[in-house]
Amino acid sequence: MAFPAQRMRRLRRTPALRRLVAETRIGVDDLVAPLFVREGIDEPAPIVSMPGHVQHTVPSLLVEAKRLGALGVPALVLFGVPLRKDARGSGADDPGGIVQVALGELAAALGDEVVLIADLCLDEYTDHGHCGIVRPDGTVDNDATLELYQRVALAQAVAGADIVAPSGMMDGQVGAIRSALDGAGHIDVAVLAYAAKFASGLYGPFREAVDVTITGGGDRRGYQQDPRNGREALTEVALDIAEGADMVMVKPALAYLDVIASVAARVDVPVAAYHVSGEYAMVKAAAERGWIDGDVVALEHLVALKRAGAEVILTYFAGEVAEALRA
């Protein structure tokens, strides 16, 4: 059947018709809100490159987490900014470290109302800015780092994390963490693997948010994935699932829709996408200048991720979108 008998515009004519036949629907249940908590501050500190977001104190973090929970956001992922950093990243597995303290407070205040995800990495805690132990030649020691990741996972589980999310892209990290958790009796703590995390230029605002600078002008291209490689991402995902990942993530999101779709078509575990700080900041900056309708574009971005196959979306727009969906 062809024109004029077939007219595709018939089902686009009204908002109600468009809603009725929509193929992809974004809902608050799809969203995870990233939050930052900083040690040693008395009031929230705005993050300049991420308008609307702050480095929280523990009390302000609790207020924001409760607000998000009341909006129906089912989960948050927590990043810590310690007062002091060192070569080992000691604050990451310290029971008194900022994320562990915050997790304990959140767990006590929220119970099972909001899923608590703890980012599991060292870069926020190291004075060199890398995601692991650095050798004298400046390279990251993968296997020595795994031992620290195990310690961090246990500290986060004890503190109250429902899910730990290793983001360092160390080979074998999921298996090492799963073994440590199970060996200590934390069999119910899930692992969300940053399985295909690309060495992207879109992480700049995040590094401001966690005060991370890689010393000597270095980068993470030796362990994060090359943006030019798509098939390699599928291998990374398969390895993490084989090691026990309960969920897998692609990061960043919009430039890797093909990877998200390929992963979603191949795996039987939930697929997450991280709509990262640079993606958020670009929308905010363009909207501030009046070049785009920021609210429309933000929702369009998230719908694209869902359409590509992401079932879980980590986004700095979580609170705004939740409010809009409730309206």
Q: Mind telling me the catalytic residues? A: 197, 251
Tally the residues of the chain.
327
| CA distance between the termini of the chain | 40
Q: Check if the beta carbon of residue 51 is closer than 8 Å to that of residue 58.
A: no
Q: Check if the beta carbon of residue 55 is closer than 8 Å to that of residue 44.
A: yes
Show the tokens assigned to 1: 């059947």
Burial class (CB in 10 A: 0-12, 13-18, 19+), 184: middle
For residue 306, give the nearest of 321, 323, 320, 292 by alpha carbon: 321
